Amino acid sequence: MRPRAEAGWELNGSKLSDQAKRYPLPLAPSALSALVPCSHNGCPLGVDAPAIAAALLAGDHPRAFLLARGPNPFASACGHGCHAPCETACHRRAFGAPVAIAALEAYATGFSTPSTLPSPEPCTSAHDARSVSGLVGQTPDTAFRAPRSGKRVAIIGGGAAGMGCAHDLVLLGHQSTIFDEASEPGGLLTNAIPAFRFPVASARAECAAILSTHAQVASNASVTGIETLRAMLATEFDAIFIAVGASVPAEGMFQDQPPHPRVVDAMSVLAKHTPLSGRVVVIGDGDLALDAARVALRRPRSEEARNVAIAHAVLPEPLESSSARPAALAAALQDGVVLHGGWHARRYLTDEQGALTGVEIAHATEGVSKVLACDSLVTAARRIPGRQFGPELRHDENGFIAVDPQSLQTSLRGVWAGGACAFGHRTIAHAVADGKRAAWQIHAALTKSVVSTVVSSAWVELGEEEWDGERAARAIAARRVDNAASTAPPADPFSSSALRDVQEIVREASRCFDCTVLPVISDDCTKCGKCINGCPEHALSFTNDEVRVVVVDSSQCTRCGACVEMCPPGAIAMARAIWEERLVAGAATPPERRVPPVRRSPSYTPPDIGGLPAVRI
C-alpha cells in the first residue's frame, strides 16, 4: 500500500467528508442496504453473510455457526430451503454469479444441533438474539432461564412465522402457546415441501429447540371464529398472533365447469391425500406447481395409485420470466416433467361417461390452443388464507389479512398477523422475520412502550497485513459450487457426514468480495483522476456537483485496492464499516426527537467503534 499522507487524515473525523457524502456516519439503514445488500437489502433477518464467509474462509467453524444462528432460529432450514433473496442482492452477481450464501449457511449450521448462543462479534442485526434479549436487559443464555413476565400470547399457526414469534417472545420473557391444525409444528416446512428437495429433519430440530424453552404447542388444534379470538383474549391470553399461512386457492381455474373428482388441488397432492395415476397435468406457477409435478413422478407405486406415466406442468409465464427459480425449473426437467411456458388453461375435457380425458390450454400471446391428454388434473392456483375468523378481521383486496406494515397490527385490538396470511408466500426468512417483528410489537403493547432500532457505526482503516490485494482476482476466478435443486438433501443435516467437502466451501467463501470493506477518500484528494482512469471495473467516478469529488460505486467495486496503490497523495485507504444494530424500548409517547444512546446487554462488551452517536430508525 502506498504510504498515505498523515496530514489531515482522520478516518472517523470530519476530514473524511468525500466518502461520508455517500455513506454517512452513523450508517443509516439505506446506507447499509447499499453497502452490504446481501444482509440489509436481500435478507429480511439481516444475517451477516460476509462475516459467515470470512469465518468459513478462516476455518473458524464455531464462529460461523454463531453468526448464522444468532439472528435466525431457522438457519438450517433457510440454508437448505430458502429461495435466498440474499443471493439475488449479492454484488458478486454482476461478476458471473452470486455467492452461494445458502450453501454457506447450510454448512455453517451443520456442525451442531440448533442452539441460541451469544456471538463474540458485533451485533449487526436487530434480529440477533442479543438484540432481542437486550431489550429486557438480558443476554440470550439468561433470557431463557429468567422468570416469565406473567403475560401469555396465543399463536395460531405453527409454521415458520408462528415459531419465529414464539422464539422471540421467550427471549422477551413471555409465555406462548402455539395452536396448530397439523400433528406437528413447522407448517409447510414439515408438512408440504417434498423431502426430495428439503431435509425435513432440519425444520423439526429447529422447532424442537424452540419448544424446549417456554413455548408450548397444541397440535391438531383448529381455532376458528371471531368469538373464539375474543374469548381467548378475555380469559387466558393477553395477545394473539395469527400465522395461519395461505393454503386456500384464491380462485377456481375452471369456474364455469362443475367440480370433477379427477381435478384436484396441488396442496392435497403434496399432503399425500390424493393419489395420482396415468397421465398428469399440473396447471399453475411457481414452486407449488413444480413440486406437484415432481411428486407425481416420484411418488412410488402403491395399492391406491398406478404409476404415473408422464407429468406436464403448464405455467402461465414464459420460462425465462417464470416466478419459479431457474434451478427449480432445471430440476423438474431433470425429473422428466414436460414444461409448457406461457400457456393457461381454458377447460377440462371429459368423455361421454364423464371420465377426464384432457385439458385445453391456450398460449398467452400467440392466440393458439392445444389439448393435453390426461387422467389426473392438478391445479396450483395462487394461495390466500381462509376466512375462518369472519368479516370483522379485515382482509385486503388481494384476500390477505390486512395489517399495518410496520406493527403488523390487524383490525382487531390485541391481534397481530404475519407471514403468508398477511403478505403471501415469500421465503422462509421472510416468514421468520415477520414472526419476530410481531413478537417485538406484542412486547411493546404488553409493556406500554415503543420498540425501535438504533445503529452505531464507524469506519476502521485496514493495514497492509489486514487486506490482500489479490483477493479480488481470486474471488472472480473461483468457480461457484454446484448447488443444483436436483441434489438430494441430507437425511440428517446435523451430521458431519452430511457436510459438503471443506475445500469446496472454502472456495465458495473465497468468492465473497466482503462488501463491508470499501475504498474511502479523504480530503487530501487532489482530484487528479488517476484512480478513476485506473480502476479495472470503472467503480470510481467524479460527481456532477459544483465541487467535484470522487465517489465509489459499491456495486461495481471488487475491493481490489488498485486505487489505493495508484493515488499520488495517498488519499485513499481500504476501510471496513463496523456497525451494531439493536432494539431499544422507549416511552409509549416519545419525547422530543433526539439522538438516543445504544443500549446493550450488561454482559456484552462490543468493540470500540469510535464513540459515535446512534441513529434511531
Q: Which residue has the higher pLDDT, 113 or 449?
A: 449
Same domain, 335 and 356: yes
* 190 and 214 share one domain: yes
| Residue 608 confidence (pLDDT) above 80 | no
- Whether 244 and 299 share a structural domain: no
Judge if 328 and 297 occupy the same domain: yes
How many whole angstroms separate alpha carbon 439 and alpha carbon 186? 18
In this prediction, residue 186 has a pLDDT band, given cuts at 50, 70 and 90, of very high
Does 259 score more than 80 pLDDT?
Answer: yes
My answer on whether 287 and 372 are in the same domain is yes
pLDDT at 19: 43
Residue 423 confidence (pLDDT): 95
Residues 148 and 237 both lie in one domain: yes
Strands 215-218 and 175-179: parallel
Please check whether residues 427 and 369 belong to one and the same domain. Answer: no
Order the strands of the 152-156 sheet from edge to edge: 215-218, 175-179, 152-156, 239-242, 415-417
Do the domain assignments include residue 190? yes
12-16, 298-302, 367-371, 550-554, range with greatest mean pLDDT: 367-371
- Tell me the C-alpha to C-alpha distance, in Å, between residue 252 and each of 1, 88, 128, 263, 283: 65, 32, 42, 11, 11
The answer to whether residue 349 scores a pLDDT higher than 90 is yes
According to the model, what pLDDT value does residue 162 have?
97
Query: Residue 70's closest CA among 163, 28, 132?
Result: 132
Q: Over 498-566, what HEC string results? A: HCCCHHHHHHHHCCCCCCCEEEEECCCCCCCCHHHHHCCCCCEEECCCCCCCEEECCCCCCCCCHHHHH
Q: Does residue 388 carry a pLDDT above 70?
A: yes
Residues 438 and 412 in one domain: yes
pLDDT tens-digit profile of 439-454? 999 999 999 999 999 8
Examine the domain organization and report whether 339 and 415 are in the same domain.
no
| Distance between CA atoms of residues 233 and 222, nearest Å | 16
What is the structure's pLDDT at 10?
Answer: 44
The most confident of the ranges 251-255, 280-284, 566-570 is 280-284
- 616 within a domain of the structure (yes/no): no
For residue 294, the tally of other CB atoms under 10 A from its CB is 26
Q: Give me the half-sphere count of Cα atoms (radius 13 Å) on the Cβ side of residue 384.
A: 15
On the question of pLDDT at 15 being above 60, the answer is no
pLDDT in tens, 558-596: 999 899 989 998 888 888 888 889 999 987 754 444 433
Domain boundary among 379, 410, 437: 379
Whether the per-residue pLDDT at 14 is higher than 60: the answer is no
Domain boundary among 426, 449, 472: 449
Residue 362: Cβ within 10 Å count: 15
pLDDT tens-digit readout, 490-543: 777 777 666 788 899 999 999 999 999 988 888 888 899 999 999 999 999 998
Name which residue leads in pLDDT, 182 or 305.
Answer: 182
Q: What is the DSSP string of 408-473?
A: -B-SSTTEEE-THHHH-S--HHHHHHHHHHHHHHHHHHHTTEEEEEEEEEEEEE--GGG--TTHHH
pLDDT at position 28 is 63
**Structural domain range at position 396:** 144-248+385-449
The dihedrals phi and psi of 67, each to the nearest 5 degrees, come to -65, -40
pLDDT greater than 70 at residue 38: yes
Residue 20 has pLDDT above 60, yes or no: no
Residue 319 lies in a domain: yes
On whether residue 195 sits in a domain, the answer given is yes
Lowest mean pLDDT among 266-275, 483-492, 566-575: 483-492
Domain assignment present for residue 298? The answer is yes
Residue 485 reports pLDDT greater than 70:
no
* CATH number assigned to the domain comprising residue 284: 3.50.50.60
> 302 with 345, same domain?
yes
Both 160 and 243 in one domain: the answer is yes
User: Within a domain: residue 435?
Assistant: yes
What is the per-residue pLDDT for 306?
Answer: 53
- Name the grid cell of 253: 381455474
Phi, psi at 310, each rounded to 5°: -155, 150
Residue 603 has pLDDT above 70, yes or no: no
8 band by pLDDT with thresholds 50, 70 and 90? very low
The mean pLDDT of 168-193, rounded to a whole number, is 94
Q: Has residue 37 been placed in a domain?
A: no
Where is the domain boundary, 449, 467, 499?
Answer: 449
Number of domains the chain is built from: 2
The answer to whether residue 595 sits within a structural domain is no
pLDDT, position 479: 85
What's the mean pLDDT when you consider all of the chain? 85
CB of 541 closer than 8 Å to CB of 506: no
CA angle 328-203-273, nearest 5°?
A: 70
**Is there a single domain that holds both residue 181 and residue 223?**
yes
Q: What pLDDT, on a 0 to 100 scale, did the predictor assign at position 11?
A: 41
